[in-house]
Chains A and B, each alone.
Chain A
Amino acid sequence: GESVGLHLPTLSVQEGDNSIINCAYSNSASDYFIWYKQESGKGPQFIIDIRSNMDKRQGQRVTVLLNKTVKHLSLQIAATQPGDSAVYFCAENPTDKLIFGTGTRLQVFP
C-alpha cells in the first residue's frame, strides 16, 4: 500500500549544529511533498514544500532535497536551535489527501 516512512525515529543534535531528517516515500505518482513540524499538544505547522519538478528548495534555515530516483526526501535545518525541538513529519500528496510518515522526533541539547 501507499506509505511514507522515516529512517530515524529520534534525532538528537547539539544546539548550533545542522540537522538532517530523512524520509522515504513509496508512491511514484506523488509530485508534491511537504514537511510539517509538530510541537507537543499542537497541530502540524507547515515548514516547506517541494514539487517534483525541483530537486532542492530553500527557506529560512531550512532546505528540502528531493531525490525522485530513490524516492527520498530530506529536511536540513541549519544552526539548530532549542525551538526546533519537535516531531517532524514528511507528507506526500499524490491525490487529494496527504499521506504522512510516522515522524522523527528532533531533540536539541545545549
Chain B
Amino acid sequence: NAGVMQNPRHLVRRRGQEARLRCSPMKGHSHVYWYRQLPEEGLKFMVYLQKENIIDESGMPKERFSAEFPKEGPSILRIQQVVRGDSAAYFCASSRTGPRETQYFGPGTRLLVL
C-alpha cells in the first residue's frame, strides 16, 4: 500500500514564476492537508481539503497561494509569482475519515526560489 506521494521532490523557481506542487494521498484517503516547514522549525498548517472542497484554508496566505483537490487526480498547491520567502519544504498529509485521526505525511517538496 503506497504511502502519500508528492512530486516533484525538489523544485527551483526564479522570482515571479509559478510553482505547482502535487500530492497523491494514500489509497482510500479522501482528506488532504498541506503544511509548510521552514528550516529548523515545526510544520505550519496551510489548508485542509476534501475531494472538490476546501474545508479550512486559514493558514494559507491570502494572495498568490491556492489549493485544489479535484474529483480525479492529485491535490495541487499552486504558488503564483513566487518570492524568496516562499522557499521552504511543503508537506502533504492525508487521512481516511477526517482530521481527528492520524495524518500520514508524504516526503515533501523542497522549493527553492532564486
In residues 35-67 of chain A, which contact B (Cβ within 8 Å)? 36, 42-46, 49
In residues 99-114 of chain B, which contact A (Cβ within 8 Å)? 99-100, 102-108
A46 CB to closest chain B CB, in angstroms? 6
Check if A108 is an interface residue, CB within 8 A of chain B: no
Residues of B within 8 A of A101 (CB): 42
- State A36–B43 Cα separation when bound (angstroms): 11
Taking CB as reference atom, which chain A residue is nearest B59?
A97
Interface residues on B, range: 20 to 34
Residues of A within 8 A of B106 (CB): 43
Q: B-side interface residues toward A, CB under 8 Å?
A: 4, 6, 33, 35, 40-45, 48, 55-56, 58-59, 91, 93, 98-100, 102-108
Q: A-side interface residues toward B, CB under 8 Å?
A: 4, 32, 34, 36, 42-46, 49, 89, 91, 93, 95-103
Known: A97-B33, A100-B42. 8 other contacts (CB 8 A): A34-B102, A34-B103, A43-B106, A44-B43, A44-B91, A46-B102, A49-B102, A98-B45
